[in-house]
Amino acid sequence: MKRVTQGLTLLGATGSIGASTLDVVARHPDRLHVFALTAHKAADALLALCLRHAPRYAVLSGQAEDAGLRRRYADAGCRSELLFGARALEQVAADAECDVLMAAIVGAAGLAPTLAGARAGKRLLLANKEALVMAGPYFMRAVRERGATLLPIDSEHNAVFQCLPQESGKASVASVRRILLTASGGPFRAAPLDQLSRVTPDQACAHPNWVMGRKISVDSATMMNKGLEVIEARWLFDVAPERIEVVIHPQSIVHSLVEFADGSTIAQLSNPDMRVPIAHALGFPERIESGARPLDLAAIGQLTFEHPDLQRFPCLGLAYAALRAGGTAPAVLNAANEVAVAAFLDGKLRYTAIPQVIEHALERMPAAPADSLEAVLEADRAARAAAGDGVAALMGRAA
């Protein structure tokens, strides 16, 4: 009997996670078909993906209605229906024909469509960590109340999920003592501290082990990425912040570890290839082919671990502080980080000024309750303004 395939909506199809997802999906035509693909403005890249994967819908969320583009897609032989504007993201996320939603938009822009998928009770594959950082408790409530299935794509959280026992179809943390998130330490783990103020965007984006989008690459260099992941883990697994620790592991082979009450520690290992967690989540609870190279431990030889240095990585300390402050503080942290990273990538801000901009925004905006989406979005908006002032004050200034 022919199996009915599941429809996939892929938010952020033209990005790094988008490409890895489509690579895995193309290996499993008996399981999955592409229902909708979205991009922000990259019309040509999206058209190429539509010609290859023939989705029912293609969304350009950062473009207003454009008859010329519609014609260009049709003339190229694209049969997908083209939708414009951010609201179309929510439409394709919540559509009845979307069985699986991959949330792979970068940044705060991913929150509304990811939440729409949670509210529609989808099988939700979450790469967009910023959604959970901004609105963790609120987001998780929507997942619970609407019966959505949440599967982590971030490699560390996917690793933790794989290490946890499953009880009644859910990952259980009942016997967990600690979660240990691994971090590569990024390109500047061993660079002299007095040289950091001069690093360029290209140096910050040259990650030693992973190829990723530019924003998350800078976050990996500052270790804000790990800070965001601590907050993500706190809500995903409902574990207190004191029980989530970070350990630097430069080889990026052990993707995270869970320590249990009896002293056992379980880890998940693979080559650093996002197709592994993506295939895990697409196939779960079955295991399906990802295309990743098998692990050759003897060739790697050594796996090493060290404590993070908070003087080198102040963003990690800021993230823990925002998590402890609670309420809207993580949303402020996230928004200020996005503004600071964008300014750094634009050549307007020094690398070492990134944490200063974030600290300034956190100081200016004391934590308020984050009990509604409006409260979170308002904090996001105000934090962007505060961070913009911080960038203007620090622009060009020697650190």
Binding site for ligand NAD (CB under 6 A): 12-18, 39-40, 42, 61-62, 104-106, 109, 127-130, 154, 210, 212-213, 215-216, 274
With CB under 5 to 8 Å by kind, the binding choice for 117 among ligand NAD, Mg ion, none is none
In contact, 10 and 35? CB cutoff 8 Å: no
Both tokens of 316, joined, read: 């990690």
With CB under 5 to 8 Å by kind, the binding choice for 249 among Mg ion, ligand NAD, none is none
Q: Does 130 bind Mg ion (CB under 5 A)?
A: no
Provide φ and ψ at 248, rounded to 5°.
-80, 135
**Choice between 128 and 356, CB closer to ligand NAD:** 128
Q: Does 154 bind Mg ion (CB under 5 A)?
A: yes
Least Å distance, CB 215 to ligand NAD, is 6
Least Å distance, CB 82 to Mg ion, is 32
**Choice between 104 and 353, CB closer to ligand NAD:** 104
Both tokens of 341, joined, read: 């990273």
Smallest Cα–Cα separation from 107: which of 321, 278, 342?
342
With CB under 5 to 8 Å by kind, the binding choice for 352 among ligand NAD, Mg ion, none is none
Q: How far apart are the first and last CA of the chain?
A: 66
**Choice between 156 and 338, CB closer to Mg ion:** 156
Which single residue brings its beta carbon nearest to Mg ion? Answer: 154
Q: What is the DSSP letter of 5?
A: P
Stretch that binds Mg ion, among 5-13, 73-81, 148-156, 169-177 (CB under 5 A): 148-156
Stretch that binds Mg ion, among 50-58, 88-96, 154-162, 291-299 (CB under 5 A): 154-162
Least Å distance, CB 21 to Mg ion, is 15
Number of chain positions touching Mg ion (CB under 5 A): 3
Least Å distance, CB 324 to Mg ion, is 21
Smallest Cα–Cα separation from 238: which of 184, 147, 157?
157
**Choice between 90 and 360, CB closer to ligand NAD:** 90
**What's the rounded Cα separation, in Å, for the pair 246 and 272?**
18
Smallest Cα–Cα separation from 310: which of 239, 240, 224, 394?
224
Least Å distance, CB 374 to ligand NAD, is 19
Q: Which long-range contacts (CB under 8 A, 24 or more apart) does 374-382 make?
A: 375/328, 376/111, 376/134, 376/135, 376/138, 376/328, 376/331, 377/111, 379/328, 379/331, 379/332, 379/335, 380/108, 380/134, 380/331, 380/332, 380/334, 380/335, 381/335, 382/332
**Choice between 129 and 350, CB closer to ligand NAD:** 129
Q: Does 380 bind Mg ion (CB under 5 A)?
A: no
Provide φ and ψ at 110, rounded to 5°.
-80, -15
Q: What is the DSSP letter of 196?
A: G
Report which residue type is found at 255. H
**Choice between 155 and 270, CB closer to Mg ion:** 155
The residues that touch Mg ion, with contacts defined as CB under 5 A, are 154-156
